[in-house]
Amino acid sequence: MTSMPFSFTTVGQIHVEWGGAAKQGELLSSWFPARNLLIVTDGGLHKAGVLEPAKSSLASAGFKVTVFDAVVADPPEQVLLDCVAQGRAAGADIVIGIGGGSSMDVAKLAAVMLVSEQQLSELYGIGNVQGARLPLVQVPTTAGTGSEVTNITILTRPDHSKMGVVSDQLYADRVLLDAELTVGLPALHTAATGIDAMVHAIEAYTSKHKKNPLSDAAAREALRLLSSNLVAACKNGADRAAREAMLIGALLAGQAFANAPVAAVHALAYPLGGRYHIPHGLSNALMLQPVLEFNMKAAAPLYAELASPVGADVAQDAGCKAKANAFVKRLIELMDASGAPRRLRDAGVAEEMLPQLAADAMLQTRLLGNNPVEVTEADALALYRAAF
């Protein structure tokens, strides 16, 4: 047990209820006095009718609902600015993010910028948000990003680089986990987002900075839930028990990495999103195996501790190296069984772009500093080659 001081911060309240999205009017009425509501989401979810039960419930409870549905993966700065403009025009006094990580990320900063005098460029970095924000509720529709419980928003700048805003104001007031919303998620998205959540837990557990007993406990339980339910959720999207376990696992992984930050897998994944628009979960899945093997020289004792939570086939009294190897082997088996693409070439990445990706990855200093092993540009290129 550590005797070092540490902090563990998370959202104000988490409500878990199957079908809870259709009761949002009732829930929000008891939580907040505000009634002029901005929903931040993506066009696909809106067109598919996923928001209808929530919108109907909110309208019945007396909320005036405005929907901003132009969020896209790896959201560009302009998407956020458009969202804020629409929220201002509507006089929004409460924000709900409904969707995947991109929608929830945009909702966080929209809730800040709707009442802030600060320019977006002033917010980038750690702890630069000043003052309050509007009330904020997050409702994830994927079991992956953990964005509902993190204090981070990632945006894509015009030069394709990704920049983060990290500030405690981005923690939501309330989170609603309704696993029924994830039932329609296709198998490929279920696999990619589920592996993404596992990456969050692993990188939090091995983070060089801020790793602590509470983040460790969340990471271990996240890995247990995710590893034992990923394949079931991919094979049968309507498996209620698997869907609920995945959603809680993703949330726990989010709590872990919000407090013990992620590292090289994410640093190498971001350029894949910025340059190729590969979904974030999939880009993490593509880079996981090479980075696990690269970090083995420093992280083996921690990987050994995670062998049991992921159900690795290894004797309890086996040595550290055997357990660490079994942990990596088990993750590879899970990724293969999930059906997610495993090579960069299968995701449309061109081999001649690998040096550019390596150069891009070096800009992610905030993340690379958390990795248990230093990553040079030559290392990054070797890792992309290994993933290719």
How far is residue 369's CA from residue 388's CA, in Å, rounded to a whole number? Answer: 24
Q: Read off the pLDDT of each residue in 304-308 and give the average, rounded to a whole number.
A: 98
How far is residue 155's CA from residue 161's CA, in Å, rounded to a whole number? Answer: 8
* DSSP designation for 151: S
Residue 317 has pLDDT above 70, yes or no: yes
How far is residue 176's CA from residue 182's CA, in Å, rounded to a whole number? Answer: 13
* DSSP designation for 309: T
Residue 226: φ, ψ to 5°: -70, -45
Closest CA to 308 of 296, 320, 297, 299: 320
Residue 13: φ, ψ to 5°: -155, 145
Residue 277 is predicted with a pLDDT of: 86
Here the tokens at position 116 are 């802030």
Rounded to two decimals, the pTM is 0.95
pLDDT tens, position by position, 184-230:
899 999 999 999 999 999 999 999 999 999 999 999 999 999 999 99
pLDDT tens, position by position, 122-167:
999 999 999 999 999 999 999 999 999 999 999 999 988 888 999 9
Residue 1 is predicted with a pLDDT of: 52
